[in-house]
């Protein structure tokens, strides 16, 4: 799948993956979004603050 193709740390946001920012906000295609691990409560709290939040938004630093 396309998820297997990328490097393991493809997103670095301002807080370097500590869920203290939302600069790593990514919007996925729905078919890819469905393959990702579930969103944790901690990620959701920070996602809520992301600009332009969508149904298929994730914080990139939590994906890999």
User: Which residues are near ligand FES by CB under 6 A?
Assistant: 13-17, 19-24, 46, 59, 61
CB atoms within 10 A of CB 21: 17
The residue number whose beta carbon is nearest to ligand FES equals 13
- Taking the complex as a whole, how short is the minimal distance between the CB of residue 16 and ligand FES, in angstroms? 6
- Taking the complex as a whole, how short is the minimal distance between the CB of residue 15 and ligand FES, in angstroms? 3
Comparing CB distances to ligand FES, the nearer of 28 and 59 is 59
């Amino acid at each position: 799948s396309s998820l297997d193709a990328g490097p393991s740390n493809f997103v670095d946001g301002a807080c370097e993956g500590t869920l203290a920012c939302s600069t790593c906000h990514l919007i996925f295609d729905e078919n890819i979004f469905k393959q990702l691990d579930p969103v944790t409560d901690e990620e959701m709290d920070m996602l809520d603050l992301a600009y332009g939040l969508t149904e298929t938004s994730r914080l990139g630093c939590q994906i890999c």
